């Protein structure tokens, strides 16, 4: 039995929501391994395609069942994430001049992606202050 094939199928299952994976992941892996040939090392293309599509469909179905409030929250998070990522892309121009700022923007992006609201707010505030530092009177900030 191939542990490698199992790991590859497990990776493909990441297209499914994590709660769904916890509930059904093991039995899906069992079925996929049952359906695989004895020496098979690579996921069958049609199985891989059906897992990618199935994962996206499951996510879409679950999103459709959520409350409008949750949908707005998800949309807002996605929008903010895009802004933060664009900001991060811009920031790389100034990598040598403002490494602290870039680290903070990167931390902010990670925090927004993970849904850590407080960390994201703190990182964004400090990054904004760090970026604005040249514009502020020299005594205003401790660093």
Partner 1 sequence: MSSASYFILAALLDGPRHGYGIIKQAADLSDGRVRLAAGTLYGALDRLAEERFILADRQEVLAGRTRRYYRLTDHGVRALQGEAARMEQAARVVTRRSGSAVTTPRLA
Contact between 42 and partner 1 by CB under 8 A: the answer reads no
Q: Please, what sign has the CA dihedral across residues 30, 35, 41, 43?
A: negative
Interface stretch with partner 1, choices 32-40, 66-74, 107-115, 127-135 (CB under 8 A): 32-40
Among 19, 27, 97, 143, which residue sits at the site for partner 1 (rule: CB under 8 A)?
27
Tell me the angle at which helices 45-65 and 18-35 cross, rounded to the nearest 10 degrees. Answer: 160
Least distance from partner 1 to the Cβ atom of residue 44, Å = 8
**Residue 71 structure tokens:** 């949908």
CA distance 133 to 128: 9
Least distance from partner 1 to the Cβ atom of residue 67, Å = 18
Contact between 140 and partner 1 by CB under 8 A: the answer reads no
Least distance from partner 1 to the Cβ atom of residue 71, Å = 20
* DSSP helix/strand/coil, 42: coil
Task: Report the residue number, 28 or 104, with the smaller CB distance to partner 1.
Answer: 28
- Name residues contacting partner 1, limited to 87-116 (CB under 8 A): none
Enumerate the H helices of the chain as residue ranges. 3-12, 18-35, 45-65, 68-91, 99-114, 117-132
Where does this chain bind partner 1 (CB under 8 A)?
1, 24, 26-35, 44, 46-47, 49-55, 57-58, 61
């Amino acid at each position: 039995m191939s542990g490698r094939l199992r790991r590859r199928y497990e990776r493909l299952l990441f297209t499914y929501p994590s709660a769904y994976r916890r509930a059904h992941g093991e039995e899906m892996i069992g079925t996929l391994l049952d359906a695989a040939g004895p020496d098979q090392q690579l996921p069958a293309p049609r199985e891989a395609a059906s897992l990618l599509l199935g994962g996206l469909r499951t996510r879409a179905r679950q999103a459709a069942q959520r409350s409008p409030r949750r949908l707005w929250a998800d949309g807002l998070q996605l929008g903010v994430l895009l802004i933060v990522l664009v900001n991060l892309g811009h920031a790389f121009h100034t990598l040598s001049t403002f490494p602290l700022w870039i680290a903070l923007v990167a931390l902010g992006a990670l925090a927004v992606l993970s849904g850590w609201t407080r960390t994201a707010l703190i990182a964004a505030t400090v990054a904004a202050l760090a970026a604005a530092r040249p514009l502020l009177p020299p005594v205003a900030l401790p660093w």
